[in-house]
Structure formats: structure tokens, C-alpha cells
Chain A
Amino acid sequence: MRTTFIKTLTERAVSDESIYVVSGDAGFGVFEDYKALYPGRYINSGIAEANATGYAAGMAMAGFNVFVYNIIPFVLYRCFEQVRNDICYQRLPVTLVGIGAGLTYAPGGMTHYSVEDLSLCLALPNLTVISPADGIETRAAVDYAVQSEAPVYIRIAKSGEPVMKDVRENGILSPGVIRDGEGIAVVAYGSIVAEAVQAADRLKDSGIRPKIVSLPTIQPLDMESLDAVLSNTEHVIVLEEHFRHGGLYTRLLERFSEAGISRRIYPMAIPNRFIHAIRNQAGMRQMFGIDSDSVIKKIKEISKIIG
């Protein structure tokens, strides 16, 4: 995803001369080509995130299309008030590109995880929130952000994620069906979509056909399309590499309730507790019950109930 992000941005920077990158002392091995091509349109703003965020807002006020790049705690947490007041409140064209979504950096330690970023972002009006599952969605997310006149947050993992499906019919702002199915759906975002896809593929011979839905854009939620995509699935698992409270599960519960949608929703997410375990990302997913094995187990359980 990281490679696709910079490749896409570098391509778009040819025609959009206002594209400007602010990197908070991050991006080794990412920005070298971009910097060589557009030396006046990149800055390392140092280890000073409040300033970097305000500076990005100021550059946007001067007419630049600004992309701030850093690991998620440093694009959102450290400088949350700058994101809120300087960028979102003033509705400036700044894209926050956060890397290390979820448990990407495990076992890097809690300071480097981002398992509550959606809780923060979903509280910010004017902010479009996109968490791509793979390179295809990352490219579409960057394309969207380049033309957006309002703030965007793109939550990416790292590099080397498998492509889930070559074509997405609905565009980045809407849910995409990665594996068609019926009865049970798994809705997910970010690199963990891969776990759901694996589960569906491994269930192929069992007669159970879960529908796997990637929902890259969490804000604004395209409820109409989601409802249509889920029309033949009464049971919906929300799979997240994020805290259970304050992520997509709670948001969907709220939206389904408001819309009078009676589907059953099941959370598969990380409990809201600081993480002290020293496991790699796969081990963490297993431990928190959000890996493909756990998804298969959950689907079989639900399947048994519905017969």
C-alpha cells in the first residue's frame, strides 16, 4: 500500500503542480524518487507534529494540495487539536496519510499501534476516512484525495498486501464485494480484509458461502450501497483490526438502528484495552480472535444457528 500510495501520488504530481508533501521525519525508502522529481514540493518538517499539521493547513491556505505523511499516532494523536481546528474546522484540502494501521507494527509496542484512530476520526466533521484493503483501493483512495477540496484521512498498513480482487465495481466511496455469497456477510476494512477472504476461500467446499465485503470508506458511510450489498445476508460480521468500541461495529449498530434495519451484527474486533502482549501481527490477530481461523469458526457458529 505504501508503495502504491507514493507511486500514485508521484504520477498525479505531474499534472497537479500544487501537490506538496509534508513528512514528519518519516518515509525512508518511500520518497526518494518523488523528492528527486519534485524537489520543491516536499518537506521534512522534523519531529514536531503540532507544527507540521498547522504548517500543512497554512500551505493549503496558500493554495497547495497538501499530503501529510507519518505513522498514525503522529498524524492524528499527537496533534489531534491541530487536525480538528486547523484542518477539519477550516475545511482545508489536506490529506493525512497515516501508516501502520491497526497492529501493522506489532510487536512494536502500544505507542505504535493505531487501534483507536477511527474513534477519533469519526468524531471529526468534514473529514473523509478511507482505510484501503490493498493496492487497488490505495490507488483509488489517493486519486480521490488528490481531487478532494476537503480533508481526507487515508489509513494504510505497510507494503506487500495481496490484491483482493482486480476490479472494484463501486468506486472507493462505496462497499465492494470481494467474494459473493449469501446468508452471512463479513464486512471489513484495511489489510484485515485478507483474513476474511482467506476464510471464505477455505470454506469453499463446506457449502457455506459468506459474502466478503470491503468497506474502505468509513466516513461518510454509503449506507444505501451497503444495504443493497447486504440485501441477501441477514447476518453481518464486522471484522476490524481496531478497538471494538468506537470503530465500524458501533457505527454500523447505530446506523442500522436509525435506519430500522433488522440484520444481526456480530463484532470481531480488539477489546478496548492497552496491549502488552508481545506478538507479531499474525499472532496478535490470532490472540484477539480476528484471524481467518476465528472468522471461519464464527461463520460456522452462525451457520449452525440459522441452519
Chain B
Amino acid sequence: MMQLRLQQTLRERAANIRITLLDMARRSKSAHVGSSLSIVDILAYLYFNKLMFDGEPADSPFKDRFILSKGHGAMALYATLHEKGLLSKEAIDGYMQDKGTLPAHLDKLTSSHIEVSAGSLGHGLPMGLGLAHGLKKKGIPGRVYVLMGDGEIQEGSVWEAAMMAPALGVDNLTAIIDFNNLQGYGRPTEIMHFHNLDEKWEAFGWKAVIADGHDFQSMEKAFALTEKAEGPSAVIMKTTKGKGVSFMEDELKWHYFIVTDEMFEQARTEILAGD
């Protein structure tokens, strides 16, 4: 059972991250707001309760590695790194600005805490697999987490990596799927045969667990199960696109729409009230 105080802390962190990212979106007139809000609770959980940090100095790399494969959710990662004290206010302010600091999709040269450059879907899991296998071969402890969108797993490269991973015995690799059931122009469950995702991963030889991607206790349980797995593991996170802002939740248009000043104020009020 997760301590209530810890849950409260994570909720507060998630609220701050949401407000930071909405402010970034407002100032930059950036798209992908819904896609970013969808993964905030997962990132808050990982960065404030899960990922093993190498300790001092503060800029040293994580022992665990996190790959944001759905690179269009970059705002959520930037805001989380900022909340963690690993990305400056100046960096956040320069997001998607002319002569700015951070692009809409990840470029690892912008921060030592960004593990891979990403933006094209289906690249993260193969890289995560290589990284996990390489770390294991070198005897370097730590787990590799790869966060993918649900639409992203339509990419064949994901299943190429899925088929290979169990053969390599990478028990240090965890795939996380942000299953918000909304992709660029439709619902994955309507576009594809998208049912029984956990069984699909299990059939490929992975340990698969379903969790609520907005419930820290549920995530805690799921990750505990994956850590016991003898091979690679997948956590299918049931999430809501646009989570935390009533008028954005489960709305396709929030893959694209921009946040106005009025919307930002309303969203912030809601988030603070919900916190």
C-alpha cells in the first residue's frame, strides 16, 4: 500500500508539471497538448518515485534510463525535468521559440537528461532494447524504461523489437504504453485490431500488466510485478488524453489545438482545485 502522503506529493508534482506544460503550450502555441497531459502522471511517478538516480552531483545520469519514444509528448518530459530541477526555467521559457532552447520533438543535445532524440514513432523500443542488452552485457545495473504511445505500437519496428527482446533475456527492459485510445486522426481500437493488447505482448514472450496511468497505487503495483519478471515486461497504462483539464479530456482535437490565455487560466484553476 502506497503511503497517502507520497500519493499526495506525487499529485502535487503532477499538478505542477501540468501547469508548466500548459504554460509552455500557451506561450509557444504548440500542438500535442493532449498527448503530453496523457503521460504526466506516469512521468511524475517515474521521476519522483521510481527512476534510480545516481546521486551527487545533481547532473549525473540516472542509473535507470528513460526513453520517451513518443517524442511528441516532449512538453511533458521538459516540464517533468524542470520540476525535478534538471532543466532550467530559461530552457523552459525558450521552448519552441525562435532562437529558443527546446524543440517540439526531442533533441538529446539540448539536455544531458534527454536519453535519446525522438519524434518519429517506433524508434524507442529497438534503441531501448540495445541499451538494455548492452548495459546487461557490461554488468551495469539499472532498468531501461521506454514510453510509447498507443498509436505508436502500430509501427512494425515495435514488434520486431518485441519479438527479439525475450530471446535476449533482458529482464531490465520495461515498455510502457500510453493507452489513451486516441491517435492523430482516430481511435486505435477502431483503426486497427487493437484488442487484448496484454495478450499480444504476452504472446511475444513479455510479461504484460495493465494499470491505471493516472493512479499512482495502480502503477506501483504494476511496476512491482514487472520487476519480478524474468524477461522484458510491458505495462499497458490506461490513460485519458488531455487528462486533468475537463475540456481537453478524450478529445481528438487536443492533439492539435493551441492553448489560449483564457483556456490556460481555466485549466490552471481546474488543476489547482483538483490537486
A interface residue numbers (CB < 8 A to B): 40, 45-46, 48, 50-64, 81-82, 85-86, 89-90
Contact = CB atoms under 8 A, between A and B. Distances in A.
Contacts of A58: 126-134
B117 A54 contact: no
Given A48-B163, A51-B157, A61 B127 contact: yes
Given A50-B160, A51-B157, A55-B164, A90 B116 contact: yes
Those 10 A-B pairs whose CB atoms lie nearest each other, nearest first: A58-B130, A62-B134, A54-B126, A51-B160, A48-B160, A50-B157, A58-B131, A55-B130, A58-B127, A59-B130
B137 interface: yes
Contacts of A90: 108, 116-117
A62 B129 CA distance: 11
Contacts of A89: 117
B134 A54 contact: no
A50 B134 contact: no
B252 to A, nearest CB: 26
Given A58-B133, A90-B116, 8 more contacts: A45-B164, A54-B161, A55-B127, A56-B130, A58-B134, A62-B130, A62-B138, A86-B126
B55 interface: no
A82 B123 contact: yes
Contacts of A60: 130, 134
Interface of B: 108, 115-120, 122-123, 125-135, 137-138, 140, 156-157, 160-161, 163-164
Given A81-B120, A90-B116, A55 B126 contact: yes
B157 A54 contact: yes
A-side binding surface: helix, strand, loop or mixed? Answer: helix
Nearest to A94: B130
A51 B164 contact: yes
A85 B135 CA distance: 21
B117 A59 contact: no
Contacts of A46: 160, 163-164
B130 A61 contact: yes
B1 to A, nearest CB: 36
A89 B156 CA distance: 21
A59 B137 CA distance: 10
B161 A85 contact: no
7 contacts: A54-B157, A55-B129, A57-B127, A60-B130, A61-B116, A82-B123, A86-B116
Interface of B is mostly: helix
B123 A62 contact: no
Contacts of B156: 50
B26 to A, nearest CB: 29
A55 B123 contact: no
Contact of A59 (B116, B122, B134, B140): B134
Nearest to A54: B126
A90 B119 CA distance: 13
B196 to A, nearest CB: 23
Contact of A62 (B119, B137, B161): B137
Contacts of A53: 126
Contacts of B120: 81, 85
A53 B116 CA distance: 14
Contact of B127 (A40, A48, A54, A64): A54
Contacts of A86: 116, 123, 126-127
Pick the most buried of A40, A81, A89: most chain B CB atoms within 10 A of its CB. Answer: A89
B17 to A, nearest CB: 26
A56 B128 CA distance: 10
B112 to A, nearest CB: 13
A235 B193 CA distance: 62
Contact of B123 (A52, A56, A64, A85): A85
B20 to A, nearest CB: 27
A90 B109 CA distance: 8
A149 to B, nearest CB: 15
A59 B130 CA distance: 5
A64 B129 contact: no
Nearest to A61: B131
A99 to B, nearest CB: 22
Given A54-B127, A85-B117, A90-B117, A62 B135 contact: yes
Contacts of B126: 50-55, 57-58, 82, 86
A48 B133 CA distance: 17
A84 to B, nearest CB: 9
A54 B130 contact: yes
A82 B130 CA distance: 13
Contact of A54 (B108, B129, B137, B140): B129
Nearest to A47: B160
Most buried by B among A58, A63, A82: A58
Q: Which of A45, A62, A86 has the largest count of B CB atoms less than 10 A from its CB?
A: A62
